[in-house]
Each structure stands twice: as structure tokens, then as C-alpha cells.
Amino acid sequence: MAVLPFDPSTLSPDDRAIYGRMVERRKAQGAGFGGPYATLMNHPQLCEKIEDLGYYLKFQGHLPREVYQFVVLFVARRTGAAFEWIDHIRHAEAAGVPSSLIDALRQGEDVSAFAPAPFDIVSKTLEATLSWQNIPQSVQDQAITTFGVEGFVELVVLSGFYQMFSGINQGFDVALPTGVENPFK
């Protein structure tokens, strides 16, 4: 598939304002605005809604940073979304995701059997969500005990959010940064 280009100079004044707000809001958090968001700006109103949810989950949600980043890497690896992996690997390392888990994920290993808490319960939850299966009651109970009901809901939504981004990145052929190779090949 051909890359869907985005040129900010073609935006209407209203859409340019949407773009400017998103760029500034993310910049204030030290986050860039590119990759799939640039592609999504071909539909500014939709991009704004998606970015609102992503911003909430990333910067205002209930899950600890290391759990958030672990979810992103887990989903990226399972879906083959190299862009998301590359975009989040340093954040995951900085947040404290154990290097042994990162390496095992990169190699495609099943980490649910050896992941330390709380990554063990997160892995079991993601196994269900990525298989489009019901989360077993015992796993749900453990996740709620660990993260609270709101954290558990966010965990499931975050899985779906990054599954959506995997589809966006791969469907629109969002390019890896120049000089960066696919970590899954």
C-alpha cells in the first residue's frame, strides 16, 4: 500500500487549529506528533477524537507507566506493529519494564508463565483480549485487585486502542524512522 501523505499546509483554518492544539498538547508532555497521527490528520476530526483517548490513557490514566508501556510492547509484538514497538521501546525501558520481558516479547515468547507481578496478570489479560476471548473470571479478579476496577477497564481498552493503532500503522504503511530496521525480522 502506498503511504497516505499529510501536508499541514492543505488544512482549512479550523482543521489547522485542531492540528495545532494536538501538536502543542503532546509537545507539553514531551511527546511528538507524527507517525500514525500524521496519517490520521487526513481526517482531522477523527484524529482529534482518537488522540483525545490516547492522551487520556497515556498521560491521565490509572495504570502505572511500566504497565502502560508493557501493554504497548505486548500488543505491538503480537500484531507485528513494528512502528509502535520502535516508538515505545525506550519509554518502556525508562519506565522500568524488565529487560528480560522486553527481550522475550521481541523474540515472540509467551511471557505469561514467567513474568513477575504485575506483568503476569497483565499478560494473562492480554492473552484473552488479543485472542478476542472473554477474560477468565480469576484473571479479572486478580487484575481488579491489582489495578482497581478503573485500572482494569483501562487495561482492556488500552489493549484495544493499540490493536487499532496496529491496524492503522500497517494499513496505511506508516514508515519506521529512517535507518531503523524492523525489530521482528
Boundaries of every domain in the chain:
10-60, 65-171
Mean pLDDT of the chain: 94
Q: How far, in Å, CA of 153 to CA of 69, rounded?
A: 16
Place of cell 501536508: 7
Asked if 144 contacts 152 with a C-beta cutoff of 8 angstroms, the reply is yes
- Measured from the Cβ of residue 149, the count of other Cβ atoms closer than 10 Å reads 11
pLDDT tens digit sequence for 127-181: 999 999 999 999 999 999 999 999 999 999 999 999 999 999 989 988 888 999 9
This prediction has a pTM of 0.93
pLDDT in the model for residue 103: 96
- Cis peptide, bond prior to residue 118, ω within 30 of zero: yes
Q: Which band of pLDDT confidence, cut at 50, 70 and 90, is reported for residue 32?
A: confident
| DSSP codes of every residue in the chain | -------GGGS-HHHHHHHHHHHHHHHHTT----THHHHHTTSHHHHHHHHHHHHIIIII-SS-HHHHHHHHHHHHHHHT-HHHHHHHHHHHHHHT--HHHHHHHHTT---TTTPPTTHHHHHHHHHHHHTT-PPPHHHHHHHHHHHHHHHHHHHHHHHHHHHHHHHHHHHTTPPPPTTPPPTT-
Write the pLDDT tens digit of every residue in 44-89.
Answer: 999 999 999 999 999 999 999 999 999 999 999 999 999 999 999 9
